[in-house]
Amino acid sequence: MPLMQRTGLLSSLIVASLAALIPFFANAGALPVPADGTPALRIQGSNTIGAQLGPALVMGLLGEQGARAVELQPGARANESRVVGQLPSGENVRIDIAAHGSSTGFSALKNNHADLAASSRPIRDSEASELSALGDLRNAKAEQVIAIDGVAVILNPGNPVRELTTAQLAGMFSGEIHDWEQVGGTGGAIHLYARDQQSGTYDTFAELVLAKFGKTLSTQAKRFESSEDLSDEVSQDRQGIGFIGLPYVRKAKAVAIIDGDSRPMLPTVSLIATEDYPLSRRLYLYLAPDSKQRWAKALVRFAQSPQGQSIVAQNGFVAQTVQAVKVRPTQEMPAQYQELTREAERLSVNFRFAQGSATLDSKARLDLKRVVEYLKTHDKLKQKVTLVGFGDAKSDPARAQLLSRLRAMAVRRELLKSQVILRDVQGFGDEMPVAANDVDEGRIKNRRVEVWVE
């Protein structure tokens, strides 16, 4: 579908989906518009965000501001767009979005070509250092998680393979495994499809799969800037395999992923929301921590609001809104954990810790507020909550269990500040891993605290 036609269709869908939400928007105060007609806000970076979610959030913000005639228009180049509208003051406003890959967002921030960087991966050490003149971009004000996504591994719907390990994926995408028969499929050469070098989706896959096994992407892989184009090509190639953000599976088939001793996991909303799915990832907006750009700050605030998170869900990503989920017990679960699944429901959030630290990470700090609000709304502040801690493997199982309980106690201390009185705190050590324990990324994912409510 041509870019202009796709953009027009997307605009219609977004306007229709926002129509029901606009009556609930409360004007947060008029934002200034440049008198010279230049963009009020410039966003650059991730194609995963910028292709669809970014424009949708911008249109939602304009709706909150009371704008009329809000329209999504194609930009000057492919994967660029602009949102225009007329504010109640009569002023015309324009917001530009360029979606050429996460790394381009940080470059644009550095060169003052963007006010916000959209990224489908965390900022790298080298990027944070280069942007240090703007402040600490890992600061809680600067690094804003706006959604959770899962990198889905996709096949042609006719491919019989249903699950793959991360080790098999590394072998396939490095070219060492080159025939489908080697992974239990019907014989034939494996055709590789991958996002381009600028993509945060590619960075995430390279980090979580390829680098973990010391591999690099095969030069035979066909590369794409567009998520939609990659997905559509895989869906038409019976021997194809690719990786893509969750909303772009489209007509292809997603397979279950196994990492280390984890069970096979499909990229479902519940597993991605808790970040248990091995290829789950966070989507970010970055801005200078002391930014005076009011439109940038307003968009970040809107994206984190209930209205913004509703738009996140409408666009196929996983919102950070807390929900209770019933979990079915299995024989692989410890007996005490099985009992918990029969008595309580699990909240759709895991608390995780900053690398090499017992301190909750930036997302966890916001999740604390979301959990407390959920507990207040559902009258579960007093002795209705059980915290369950897990950790990575240790040589001493007793030590692993102690550390997992201590992590749960760290969350308990924070919840007590909001008058949450817990029913119980449990630690299960290194049981029920969701990722391999032989690399840092896997160990960090296994060091988690679950929240259960009766």
**322-453 is classed CATH 3.30.1330.60:** yes
pLDDT tens string 365-406? 889 999 999 999 999 999 999 999 988 776 677 877 888 888
Separation between Cα atoms, residue 447 and residue 411, nearest integer Å: 12
Q: What are phi and psi of 399, to 5 degrees?
A: -65, -40
Q: How far apart are CA 350 and CA 388, in angstroms?
A: 10
With DSSP H G I counted as helix, E B as strand and the rest as coil, what are the percentages for the chain, rounded to 5? 40, 25, 40
* Percentage of the residues of the chain whose pLDDT score is greater than 90: 72
Task: Provide the pLDDT confidence category of residue 445 given band limits of 50, 70 and 90.
Answer: confident
Domain ranges (residues) in the chain: 3-142+287-314, 150-271, 322-453
d(C-alpha 115, C-alpha 372), whole Å: 32
In angstroms, the CA 195 to CA 281 distance is: 16
CATH classification for the domain delimited by 150-271, as one of 3.40.50.970, 3.40.50.40, 3.40.190.10, 3.40.50.2300:
3.40.190.10
Cβ burial of 377 (10 Å; 0-12, 13-18, 19+) is: exposed
d(CA 64, CA 430): 46
Q: Are 306 and 287 in contact, with CB atoms under 8 Å apart? A: no
For the domain made up of 3-142+287-314, the CATH class stated in words is alpha beta
Bridge partners, residue 94, by sequence: 84
Answer with the residue of higher pLDDT: 387 or 13: 387
Residue 7 has pLDDT above 50, yes or no: no
Average pLDDT of the segment spanning 258-269: 90
What 3-state DSSP class applies to 74? strand
417's tokens: 């500040």
3-142+287-314 and 150-271 have identical folds: yes
Q: How far apart are the first and last CA of the chain?
A: 49
Beta bridge partners of 84: 71, 94
Enter the pTM of the model.
0.79
Q: Tens of pLDDT along 265-309?
A: 999 988 999 999 999 989 999 999 999 999 999 999 999 999 999
